[in-house]
Amino acid sequence: MIELLKPTIYPIIIMGGMGAIFALGLGIAARVFYVYIDPRIGQVEELLGGANCGGCGYAGCSDCAEAIVAGKAPVNACILAPPENIKKIAEIIGVTVEVEEEKKVARIMCRGTPEKAKRRFQYMGIEDCRAAALVAGGDKDCEYGCLGYGTCVKSCPFGAMSMGRDGLPKVDEEKCVGCGTCVRVCPRGVPHLLPVSQKVYVPCNSHDAGKIVKEICEVGCQGCGICRKNCPEKAIIIDKFLSIVDPKKCIGPDASCGGKCMDKCPTGAIQRIIS
Amino acid sequence: MEQQVWTFSDYLLLIVSAVFINNILLIRFLGNCPFLGVSRKMDTAVGMTFGVIFVLTCSGPLTWLTETYLLKPFKIVYLETLAFILVIAVFVQLTEIVVKKVSPGLYRALGIFLPLITTNCAILGTCFYNMRFKFGFLPSLIFSFASACGFGLALILFAGIRERFEYARIPEPITGTGIGLVTAGLIGLSFFAFAGLVK
């Protein structure tokens, strides 16, 4: 009788026994090697953007959450998290936060399409701006302008950028969250983060002297200062041959000034942002 | 069970065979999920490689012991699959718990790969090969280690090539996994050149 039952009972005993012993072993190990993890880290991580974009300066959202709980990063470090989430995080950590900055979006500070800006040579290497910038400083005559190989487009974690037909990247204002990944990967710093409400800007990145700009690019800012002279609000400053609009002072293109800066610019380098 | 005495050259042949000629990834086509999944970046590929080498080198002999001293005496070898999965899963879990406590740095590097390895068929497949080839304890240990090294070799080679895809002009319809599979096939073909090196 027992001989007959053996093939049935042995598997049950052996497998069951193995399972029980392993379970016991794991249970004991889990106790012995218990590691305390701050439960707040998980809570904070859930409130963050969850895109691992790196806009906060940490490797990922879980790293950022750890830094916030440890007090190494501010509670509003995440640019993706909506204000109500920031408030919740502040509650979890036990601090108060009042900062509520306006959303920023990336703007491409260059209008030098292949037709308008000259190129020194034909670049045939791998299709990446960082690589192109290493070859004799890039194939564009302008040392500040967009090279147009789309490194920013490829690196955008939100798919907010696309390469336009004119050979310059375009930013989808709706999708852009202002994480600044494009700013970090661009070898020339062409994308800039500007407040979403800013309606007048100078889409040029060149600090070259006016004469040089005139030679190599049809649409570059020469730093002549005509826009500054014509601005009643003194919202424009010239920094090394490049005109920069101060978004805090600029009252917009449709205000009482009538957008004189744009009308008077000889190269059309100062522009209204159309979204 | 051990028909012949294993000499040093036998072990050497076993290692060469497992790493190059019968490469677990490219010739036997086991473990293709992590092969495509974690090969986008060199860092993750290297992490996965060390995870697999560690887990396989340990679980190969462990499953050998299970089969030889538990399943065979009680004549329940047909439960091999179940028992092996149990042993591997428990071993991986245990490792994870211990590493988390003992070395948080190592846990950060390997941590996410450990649960992935539990379900890696390269591990289970190698454990089965150990039994099919009727290896003794030491050969099974060596074979497991060499198989894992072969896995790592293929994975790191592949990751090195795949990293370059970032900057290459790939035809639109086969970007991503498509070009990955094409490349995997080509590397597999190149590994066929080793066939016939050892019987």
Whether CATH 3.40.1110.10 fits A102-196: no
| Any A CB within 8 A of B101 CB | yes
* Separation between Cα atoms, residue B44 and residue B6, nearest integer Å: 36
Name which residue leads in pLDDT, B175 or A122. Answer: A122
Does position B152 have pLDDT exceeding 90, yes or no?
A: yes
Site from B74, B88, B103 to mutate, A interface, most A CB atoms within 10 angstroms:
B74
Question: Is A154 within 8 Å of chain B by CB?
Answer: yes
Closest chain B CA to residue A10: B74
Could you tell me if A41 and A69 are in contact, meaning their C-beta atoms sit under 8 angstroms apart? Answer: yes
pLDDT at B108 over 80: no
Provide mean pLDDT across the span B181-198: 87
- Residue ranges of the domains in chain A? 39-93, 102-196, 198-275
A29: which chain B residues are within 8 Å (Cβ-Cβ)?
A: 94, 97-98
Q: Is B74 in the A-facing interface, judged by CB distances under 8 Å?
A: yes
Cα radius of gyration (chain B): 18
Q: How far apart are CA A131 and CA A137, in angstroms?
A: 10
Structural contact between residues A27 and A39, judged by C-beta atoms closer than 8 angstroms: no
Residue B197: pLDDT above 80? no
Chain B contact present for A163, CB below 8 A? no
pTM of the model: 0.66
Compute the nearest-CA separation of A6 from chain B (Å).
9
> Is A22 in Cβ contact with B167 (below 8 Å)?
no
A-B contacts at Cβ under 8 angstroms? 53
B168 touches chain A (CB under 8 A): yes
A4 contact B CB<8A:
no
Nearest-by-Cβ selection for A11 from B76, B87, B104: B76
Residue A98's pLDDT is 65
- pLDDT value at residue A17: 92
Q: CA of B92: which chain A residue's CA is closest?
A: A26
Residue B1 has pLDDT above 50, yes or no: no
User: Is residue A169 a contact partner of residue A163, using CB atoms and an 8 Å limit?
Assistant: yes
B106 touches chain A (CB under 8 A): no
Residues of A in contact with B169 (CB under 8 A): 127
Contact check, Cβ <8 Å, B166/A128: yes
* Overall average pLDDT of the B137-160 stretch: 93
Q: Is residue A168 within 8 Å of A113, Cβ to Cβ?
A: yes
Average pLDDT over every residue of B170-176: 83
A34 has a chain B CB within 8 A of its CB? yes
A126 in contact with chain B, both atoms CB, cutoff 8 A: yes
Distance from CA of A236 to the nearest CA of B (A): 39
Q: What ipTM did this prediction achieve?
A: 0.74
CATH 3.30.70.20 fits A198-275, yes or no: yes
pLDDT for the residue numbered A172: 92
The total of other beta-carbon atoms located within 10 Å of residue A168's CB is: 21
Per-residue pLDDT in tens (0 to 9) along chain A, 275 residues:
778 888 888 889 989 999 999 999 999 988 888 888 888 888 888 888 777 777 787 878 888 888 888 888 888 888 888 878 888 888 888 877 766 667 889 999 999 888 888 888 888 888 889 999 998 888 999 999 999 999 999 888 888 999 988 889 999 988 898 888 899 999 999 999 998 888 889 999 999 988 899 889 989 999 888 988 888 888 899 988 999 999 888 887 887 887 888 888 888 888 888 76
Across the interface, which of B74, B104, B168 has its CB nearest the CB of A126? B168
Which residue on chain B is closest to A63 by alpha carbon?
A: B108
Q: In 10 A of CB A52, how many CB atoms?
A: 15
Q: Do the domains spanning A39-93 and A198-275 agree at the CATH topology level?
A: no
Assigned token pair, A121: 């040579």
User: Which pLDDT value is given to residue A99?
Assistant: 61
Q: Is residue B111 over pLDDT 70?
A: no
Q: Distance between CA A116 and CA A166 in Å, rounded?
A: 10
Domain ranges of chain B: 8-194
Q: A39-93 has which fold?
A: 3-methyladenine DNA Glycosylase II; Chain A, domain 3 (1.10.15)
Residue B88: closest CA among B65, B106, B71: B65
Report CB contact under 8 Å: A33, B102: yes
Residues 6+ apart with CB under 8 A from B138: B6
Contact between B60 and B161 (Cβ < 8 Å): no
SS (H, E, C) A156-225: CCCCCEEECCCCCEEECCCCCCCCCHHHHHCCCCCEEEEECCCCEECCCCCCCCHHHHHHHECCCCCCCC
Does A63 contact B at CB distance below 8 Å?
A: no
Taking an 8 Å cut-off on Cβ atoms, the answer to whether A15 and B101 are in contact is: no
Which residue in A7, A35, A127 is closest to B169 by CB distance? A127
β-bridge pairing A200-201 and A236-238: unpaired
Q: How far is CA A104 from the centre of its chain?
A: 10
Residue B134: predicted pLDDT? 87
Given a cut of 60, is residue B2 above it in pLDDT?
Answer: no
**pLDDT the model gives residue A202:** 92
Chain B contacts of A34, Cβ < 8 Å? 101
What would the pLDDT profile of B71-93 be if each residue is shown by its tens digit?
888 888 888 899 999 999 998 88
Does residue B5 belong to the interface with chain A, where contact is any CB pair within 8 Å? no
Put simply, the answer to whether B86 touches A18 (Cβ < 8 Å) is: yes
Dihedral angle sign, alpha carbons of residues A151, A152, A155, A158? negative
Which chain A residues are closer than 8 Å to B165 by Cβ?
none
- The residues with which A192 forms a beta bridge, in sequence order, are A107
- For every residue of chain B, DSSP letters joined together read ---SPPPHHHHHHHHHIIIIIT-TTTTS---HHHHHHS-SSHHHHHHHHHHHHHHHHHHHHHHHHHIIIIITTTT-GGGHHHHHHHHHHHHHHHHHHHHHHH-HHHHHHHTTHHHHHHT-HHHHHHHHHHHHTT--HHHHHHHHHHHHHHHHHHHHHHHHHHHHHTTS---GGGTTHHHHHHHHHHHHHHHGGGTTS--
Task: For residue A217, give the nearest of A206, A228, A226, A232 by alpha carbon.
Answer: A206
Q: What pLDDT sits at residue A4? A: 82
Spatial distance between the Cα atoms of A101 and A194, rounded to a whole number of angstroms: 12
- In angstroms, the first-to-last Cα distance of chain A is 86
CA distance A55 to A77: 8
